[in-house]
Structure 1
Amino acid sequence: MGEGVEWALHSCVNLAWIGPERAVPAARLAAWHDLPAAYLNKQLQALARAGILTSTPGQRGGFRLARPLAEISLMDVVVAVEGSAEAFRCAEIRNQGPGRGPTVDNGPECAVAHAMGRAELAWRRALAEQNLDDIRREAERQAPQAPVRLRTWFAGLTAT
Structure 2
Amino acid sequence: MSEIKSYEFYFSGTEDNRYFFVTKNDIAYEIKFKPFPYLFDSNEPFAQNTFEFVIAVFSNPNQQNLRLDSNMGITIAKIFDDFYERNNQTITIYICDTSDEKQFARERKFSRWFLAFQNENYLKTDAILLTSGEEVVPVSIIFRRDNPYKYQIMEAFEKLTDGFTHK
TM-score computed with the length of structure 1 as normaliser: 0.27
The higher radius of gyration belongs to: 1
Name whichever structure is richer in strand by fraction. 2
TM-score computed with the length of structure 2 as normaliser: 0.26
Name whichever structure is richer in helix by fraction. 1
The structure, 1 or 2, with the larger RCO (C-alpha pairs under 8 Å, 6+ apart) is 1
